[in-house]
């Protein structure tokens, strides 16, 4: 990107929508249906509401603290006497990015295998997931960056395809399916909304561009609210077409590539091919962008002593090569060893926790940001409820997954604490 004031509303909306639909609906439609059944559209609506409330906190803080550091800057101002909170959150965001990378890689492999009619081969899916991560690790190590125009074309192509699928799919919707398959209560809907929250991760990227946007006071709020509203509308529409056109069981059985199956009643085999290609293009683009940003974030934290110093080492192309290697290795481990439900649960819970910390920062700084106390409190309560619901679901329905996620968080906590204390000791020596 160029100088300050380069990004207008259209570009900011593209950043937000592109970030959210990077894996989004392609990854989690089947999971939402498995938990909420025909009420899956309501689950996506819940996710959108949570994202909007979190988005309000990001907006108020971004307008008050013009910094590309986003959440780290906000926590630094909200907790000036507790720098470890910002450090731990930094580690959490990096780990969350790695989780989304694993989700994108897993989804790429699932849709590519479906396109090749080899979806029943676990080995093929893993091989395709591994291959796409290695390809973009190589591209990132060489220092190549995709053009902004190409990224915008990918974003708008995805939106057009999903809108086409939603509109065309209306003709195959059977209203009777909504009446006969509604056997889930509000708790299942909230659980599903929490589980698929990772599909809304990405609107935060708009706040990272606050210093490069035109009229940020006007365009940052509009960019965040418009992108969340558009994505929510698309998700709700697509999920309504899916559960209205197919049996819930068919979508659950194809949960890893559910959107490809959902396209078949309205658009036939051509629709399935188009959705698979869109999913592959979308997730590949998201892998590239996320790997690029996460590696540089690790390098920046390493420079400040909050991560191991070698993570800041750069090659001749000025790429933090060890950070790219570590990110790729952990991503491959998650994508290979973890199932879709585990990866989505881990990623959603991580970004819900980060969003809660931002909402808490907004609450503490509400007199500085001019935030509405009611909306700020609603954001805190809604996020806390969503996190509690997801944790309850994991404890009662997937205790092994809950234990594995808790172990990962413990490792992150110990690692971040170790390096934070080492940095403090170095500064005071």
pLDDT tens digits, 129-162? 999 999 999 988 987 555 456 667 777 787 888 8
Range with top average pLDDT, 28-32, 172-176, 185-189, 289-293: 28-32
Tell me, what's the pLDDT at 87?
A: 84
Q: How confident is the model at residue 1 (pLDDT cuts 50, 70, 90)?
A: very low
Tell me, what's the pLDDT at 144?
A: 58
Mean pLDDT throughout 104-122? 92
Q: Rounded to the nearest 5°, which phi and psi values hold at 174? A: -110, 110
Statement: residue 278 has pLDDT above 90: no
Range with top average pLDDT, 182-191, 336-345, 381-390: 381-390
| C-beta atoms surrounding 410 within 10 Å | 10
Tell me, what's the pLDDT at 142?
A: 85
- Give the 3-state secondary structure of the chain: CCCCCCECHHHHHHHHHHHHCCCHHHHHHHHHHHHHHHHHHHHHHHHHHHHHHHHHHHHHHHHHCCCCCCHHHHHHHHCCCCHHHHHHHHHHHHHHHHHHHHHHHHHHHHHHHHHCCCCCCHHHHHHHHHHHHHHHHHHHHCCCCCCHHHHHHHHHHHHHHHHHHHHHHHHHCCHHHHHHCCCCCHHHHHHHHHHCHHHHCCHHHHHHHHHHECCHHHHHHHHHHHHHHHHHHHHHHHHHHHHHHCCHHHHHHCHHHHHHHHHHHHHHHHHHHHHHHHHHHHHHHHHHHHHHHHHHHHHHHHHCCCCCHHHHCCCCCCCCHHHHHHHHHHHHHHHHHCCHHHHHHHHHHHHHHHHHHHHHHHHHCHHHHCCCHHHHHHHHHHHHHHHHHHHHHHHHHCHHHHHHHHHHHHHHHHHHHHHHHHHHHHHHC
Statement: residue 54 has pLDDT above 90: yes
Mean pLDDT throughout 181-197? 82
| CATH node for 9-132+144-284+340-394 | 1.20.1740.10
Measured at the CA of 52, the angle between CA 50 and CA 57, to 5 degrees, comes to 100
Mean pLDDT throughout 63-77? 78
Tell me, what's the pLDDT at 300?
A: 79
Token pair for 129: 């997931």
Task: Give the bridge partners for 239, in sequence order.
Answer: none
In the chain, domain spans: 9-132+144-284+340-394
Whole-angstrom Cα distance, residue 163 to residue 155?
12
Statement: residue 309 has pLDDT above 80: yes
Whole-angstrom Cα distance, residue 318 to residue 305?
19
Tell me, what's the pLDDT at 3?
A: 46
- 122-141 and 321-337 are packed helices; what angle lies between their axes, rounded to 10 degrees? 170
Closest CA to 139 of 297, 310, 307, 290: 290
Say which residues have a Cβ less than 8 Å from residue 226's Cβ, sequence separation at least 6. Answer: 9, 13, 16
Mean pLDDT throughout 32-60? 94
Task: Give the bridge partners for 7, in sequence order.
Answer: 213
Whole-angstrom Cα distance, residue 325 to residue 294?
11
Closest CA to 312 of 322, 324, 299, 325: 299
Mean pLDDT throughout 277-284? 87
pLDDT tens digits, 402-422? 999 999 999 999 999 988 888
Tell me, what's the pLDDT at 425?
A: 79
Tell me, what's the pLDDT at 191?
A: 92
Would you say 56 and 309 are in contact if contact means Cβ atoms under 8 Å apart? no
Token pair for 365: 């700084």
Statement: residue 4 has pLDDT above 60: no
What's this model's pTM, rounded to 2 decimal places? Answer: 0.87
Say which residues have a Cβ less than 8 Å from residue 120's Cβ, sequence separation at least 6. Answer: none
Mean pLDDT throughout 236-263? 88
Task: Give the bridge partners for 213, in sequence order.
Answer: 7
Burial of 245 (0-12, 13-18, 19+ CB in 10 A): buried
Q: How confident is the model at residue 104 (pLDDT cuts 50, 70, 90)?
A: very high
Would you say 281 and 79 are in contact if contact means Cβ atoms under 8 Å apart? no
Percent pLDDT > 90 in the chain is 44
Tell me, what's the pLDDT at 2?
A: 42
Q: What is the mean pLDDT of the chain?
A: 87
Tell me, what's the pLDDT at 202?
A: 84
Mean pLDDT throughout 208-233? 89
Q: How confident is the model at residue 254 (pLDDT cuts 50, 70, 90)?
A: confident
């Amino acid at each position: 990107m160029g100088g300050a004031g380069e990004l207008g509303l259209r570009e900011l909306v593209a950043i937000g929508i592109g970030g959210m639909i990077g894996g989004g609906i392609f990854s989690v439609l089947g999971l939402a249906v498995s938990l909420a059944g025909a009420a899956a559209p309501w689950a996506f609506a819940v996710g959108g509401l949570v994202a909007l409330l979190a988005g309000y906190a990001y907006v108020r803080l971004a307008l008050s603290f013009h910094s590309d550091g986003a959440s780290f800057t906000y926590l630094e101002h909200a907790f000036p006497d507790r720098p470890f909170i910002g450090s731990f959150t930094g580690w959490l965001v990096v780990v969350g990015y790695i989780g989304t990378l694993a989700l994108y890689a897993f989804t790429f492999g699932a849709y590519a295998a479906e396109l090749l009619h080899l979806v029943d081969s676990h080995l093929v899916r893993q091989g395709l997931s591994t291959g796409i991560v290695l390809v973009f690790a190589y591209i990132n190590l060489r220092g190549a960056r995709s053009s902004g125009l190409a990224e915008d074309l990918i974003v708008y192509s995805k939106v057009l395809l999903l809108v086409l699928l939603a509109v065309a799919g209306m003709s195959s919707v059977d209203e009777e399916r909504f009446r006969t398959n509604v056997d889930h209560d509000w708790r299942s809907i909230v659980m599903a909304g929490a589980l698929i929250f990772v599909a809304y991760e990405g609107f935060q990227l708009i706040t990272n561009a606050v210093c490069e946007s035109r009229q940020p006071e006007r365009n940052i709020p509009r960019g965040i609210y418009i992108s969340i509203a558009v994505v929510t509308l698309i998700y709700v529409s697509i999920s309504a077409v899916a559960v209205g056109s197919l049996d819930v069981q068919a979508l659950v059985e194809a949960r890893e590539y559910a959107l490809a199956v959902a396209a078949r009643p309205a658009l036939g085999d051509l629709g399935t091919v188009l959705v698979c290609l869109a999913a592959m293009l979308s997730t590949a683009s998201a892998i590239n962008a996320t790997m690029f940003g996460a590696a540089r974030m690790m390098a920046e934290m390493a420079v400040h002593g909050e991560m191991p110093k070698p993570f800041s080492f750069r090659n001749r192309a000025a790429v933090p090569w060890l950070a790219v290697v570590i990110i790729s290795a952990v991503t491959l481990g998650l994508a290979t060893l973890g199932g879709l439900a585990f990866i989505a649960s881990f990623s959603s819970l991580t970004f819900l926790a980060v969003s809660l910390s931002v909402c808490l920062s907004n609450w503490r700084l509400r007199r500085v940001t001019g935030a509405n106390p009611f909306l700020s409190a609603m954001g805190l309560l809604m996020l806390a409820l969503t996190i509690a619901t997801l944790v309850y679901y994991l404890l009662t329905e997937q205790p092994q997954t809950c234990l594995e996620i808790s172990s990962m968080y413990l490792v992150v906590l110990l690692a971040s604490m170790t390096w934070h204390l080492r940095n403090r000791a170095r500064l005071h020596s």
